[in-house]
Amino acid sequence: MDLHAQYQRALQQPGFEADPAQRAALDRLQSLGERLLQPVDKRLRQPVVKGWLNSLFGNGQHTQRGLYLWGGVGRGKTWLMDLFFAALPFEQKLRLHFRHFMQEIHDKLTQLAGHRDPLPLVAKHFARRARVLCLDEFFVEDITDAMILHRLLDALIKQGVALVFTSNLAPAELYLHGLQRERFLPAIALIEAHTEVIELAGDTDHRLRKLQQAHCYFSPLNAASQRALAQRFTELAPGTICKDVLLNINHRQIPCQQCADDVAWFDFLQLCHGPRASADYIELARRFHTVCIANVPSMGEHEEEWAHRFIDLVDEFYDRRVKLLISADNDPAHLYHGRRHVFDFQRTASRLMEMRSDEYLAQAHRP
């Protein structure tokens, strides 16, 4: 594998620019890839090392040191991870959004409810599937996740799984003001001990550079923007359009204004008001390759819950490459003026901008 050659080819495309921090991260990803390509003792899942050093120190269980890439929005963390993942020439690899990973973990724990200590069994389940596990958008906010992550990550590492993370936060800043954070500190120590922590420093948001904007974001909210959104939906909807449909999503009904096969139209409040969970957005992102959302309001201190759900929704749609068309009260950078989610909404605004680009729209849906 030659990540630098792939990086150089990417630089020839419009909108790409060389970035020293990306090159430094690429060096470490290349090094990890080369280590993973060493011959592997299948029984112990460790590189076969010949010579007197091996005989001197013996064949203890190998733990492959992974990588933790962190930095601000749009710094290219996910893109570098995907470049690395695609270049690995073996099948035993897994790349998941962190939220999807934790949902699968909780599903497995539910299945193993009768076992005294199910976490090692869950780790073995992943170790059978992957020698390297790439987790995108690592961010801990749920106390249930925080309480199990140390033992889970420790079990994965002991199974010989190399971990690669991307995050907007340094390990020491994870779950910073969370409940019982002291119980999460061992997980931070584990990450710092078993991954090389690399910051993609810099101010450039590569998502926003030289994007060719497509007509899929309409503001402000007025009759013209609503007509434009409706016209785009009609152009994209295949076959018969069903109106006022109740979708069964995770045993809850979500009203859908219009639906045609795998294209859907929702009002903002139908998706971001009321009992909605990340699992609902995951299912919507799996089911629909194109979604129209009408009447996205500006959100402040009185709409913090709406903003939180909208952040989750955009994250899921972005990760699955859903085509998102929106009518909104303002441009993405000025949609949110609250306090609680300022940091996260910067990522949301950046992604909303990228999701309007020809480059994003040309990518295939990931159901």
pLDDT of residue 49: 44
Task: Answer yes or no: do 111 and 221 share one domain.
Answer: no
Tokens of 71: 């930095």
Q: Is 205 within the bounds of a domain?
A: no
Structure tokens at 38: 């060493």
Q: Are residues 154 and 226 in the same domain?
A: no
Residue scoring higher pLDDT (16 or 60): 16
The residue range of the domain holding 341 is 211-361
- In this prediction, residue 53 carries a pLDDT of 39
* pLDDT of 365: 83
282: which 2 tokens? 């995951």
Overall average pLDDT of the 59-75 stretch: 76
Residue 63: the pLDDT is 64
Residue at 195 is within a domain: yes
Share of the chain above pLDDT 70, in %: 90
Q: What value does the mean pLDDT take over residues 249-270?
A: 92
224 shares a domain with 104: no
User: Residues 194, 157: contact at Cβ < 8 Å?
Assistant: yes
CB-hemisphere CA count at 13 Å for 339?
2
Residue 206 lies in a domain: no
Exposed/middle/buried for residue 203 (C-beta within 10 Å: 0-12, 13-18, 19+): exposed
Residues 151 and 215 placed together within one structural domain of the fold? no
Domains in the chain: how many in total? 2
Please tell me the predicted confidence (pLDDT) of residue 345: 95
Q: What is the pLDDT of residues 10-48, one digit of tens each?
A: 888 766 788 899 999 999 999 999 999 987 655 445 544
Tokens, residue 339: 């306090």
Residues 220 and 157 in one domain: no
Domain boundary among 199, 229, 255: 199
Helices (H), 237-341: 268-272, 278-287, 304-319
Same structural domain, 68 and 154: yes
- Is the same domain home to 266 and 310? yes
HEC states along 82-129?
A: HHHHHHCCCCCEEEEEHHHHHHHHHHHHHHCCCCCCCHHHHHHHHHHH
CATH number of the domain residue 350 falls in: 3.40.50
Check whether residue 277 and residue 333 sit in a common domain: yes
199, 219, 248 - which closes a domain: 199
CATH number at residue 162: 3.40.50.300
pLDDT value of residue 21: 92
Q: Count Cβ atoms within 10 A of the Cβ of residue 120 and give its class: 0-12 exposed, 13-18 middle, 19 or more buried.
A: middle
In this structure, the answer to whether residues 32 and 173 fall within a common structural domain is: yes
What pLDDT, on a 0 to 100 scale, did the predictor assign at position 208? 53
pLDDT digits (tens, 9 = 90+) for 190-222: 999 999 999 998 777 665 554 455 588 999 999
Q: Domain boundary at 199, 229, 257, which? A: 199
| Residue 49 belongs to some domain of the structure | yes
Q: Taking 70 as the threshold, does the pLDDT of residue 93 lie above it? A: yes
Cβ neighbours, 10 Å, residue 128? 9
The answer to whether 58 touches 51, Cβ cutoff 8 Å, is no
58 vs 265, higher pLDDT: 265
The C-alpha angle with vertex 88 and arms to 60 and 139, in degrees rounded to 5, equals 80
Lowest average pLDDT, out of 39-53, 108-122, 125-139, 352-366, goes to 39-53
Asked if residue 172 and residue 223 are part of one domain, the reply reads no
Q: Cis omega before residue 220 (within 30°)?
A: yes
Using the predicted structure, report yes or no on whether residue 137 has a pLDDT greater than 90: no
Answer whether residue 81 is part of any domain: yes
Q: Mean pLDDT, to the nearest integer, of 240-262?
A: 89
Instruction: Give 310-357 pLDDT, tens digit per residue.
Output: 999 999 999 999 999 999 999 999 999 999 999 999 999 999 999 998
Same domain, 12 and 151: yes
* Co-location of 57 and 181 in the same domain: yes
Please state, in angstroms and rounded to a whole number, the distance separating the CA atoms of residues 157 and 163.
8
- Structural domain includes residue 74: yes
User: Could you tell me if residue 333 is inside a domain?
Assistant: yes
The answer, yes or no, to whether residue 8 has pLDDT greater than 80, is: yes
Nearest to 351 by CA among 329, 319, 327: 319
39 Cβ neighbours under 8 A, 6+ residues apart:
47, 48
Residue 280 counted as domain residue: yes
Banded pLDDT at 173 (limits 50, 70, 90) = very high
Determine the average pLDDT of the residues in 36-62.
50
Would the pLDDT of 130 be above 80? yes
